[in-house]
Structure 1
Amino acid sequence: MIDGKRILVVEDEFIVAAMLCDTLEDHGAMPVGPVGRVSEGLEVIAAGGIDAAVLDWNLAGESGSSLAEALAARDVPFIIATGYGSVDAPFNERPILSKPYVSAHLIEKLSGLFTG
């Protein structure tokens, strides 16, 4: 379901980002990034060419809300990954992946972005 999709990886924890990219590659996706700062993520989003994103909600103390707004404005589907349990409106209706997560749940949620 995600084969050939360009997935932006926004994650500030190096080990988590590396494992996430490996998982995406194992399932045929093309990871973009990873990026670990809001400013870097905004640059990638502005450049375009991504099919979806996995967005860490807390990046070195910064909220991922500006990234979520930029993705939503471009109609790019995304999953919010968080270890904090909840996400404020209006993004609390987006798919949320609670950390720590297993790869199968990640792939299931990402696949759901493309199947409706």
Structure 2
Amino acid sequence: MQMKDHLTDLGCPETIIATRVEKAFVALTAGIQFAVIDVSIAGESCNELAERLAMSRIPFIYVSGYQPGDFPELPAAPWVSKPASEEQLMEAISTALTQPSSHLR
């Protein structure tokens, strides 16, 4: 199942898919309320994107084939390993929405 389908099933009314980091930054200006990011999009690092989300206090989660220990410099956020189930996504989203980032990872 595709990520967008999982998010729709979880009740997300609108999903913006950014296939490039620059498109993800454009989405930030659209007033997003939550983000699901990988540590790399099309071979580009998402470190700056994650930092901007954290500084903007926009809750987010990582969904990645990498392990969280591989990227200790990233801002704290729930981490889900690919392939992700709806249950794993729901738990991570709930955590991101209810806990301050200083208590994560």
Q: What corresponds to 1:76 in structure 2?
A: 58
TM-score, normalised with respect to structure 2: 0.81
Q: Secondary structure at the match of 1:29?
A: coil
Q: What corresponds to 1:3 in structure 2?
A: none
Q: Secondary structure at the match of 1:36?
A: coil
Q: Secondary structure at the match of 1:79?
A: strand
Q: What corresponds to 1:88 in structure 2?
A: 71
Q: What corresponds to 1:114 in structure 2?
A: 97
User: Which runs of no fewer than 5 residues in structure 1 stay unpaired?
Assistant: 1-15
Letter in 2 for 1:38: V
Q: What corresponds to 1:33 in structure 2?
A: 16
Percent of residue pairs identical:
35
Deviations 1:71-107, CA, capped at 9 Å, x for gaps: 1121001101111213423426321111122121011
Matched, 1:58 2:31: no
Greater relative contact order (CA < 8 Å, ≥ 6 in sequence): 1
More strand by share: 1
Q: Does the 8 Å CA contact 1:54/1:79 hold for their aligned counterparts?
A: yes
Q: Does the 8 Å CA contact 1:57/1:80 hold for their aligned counterparts?
A: yes
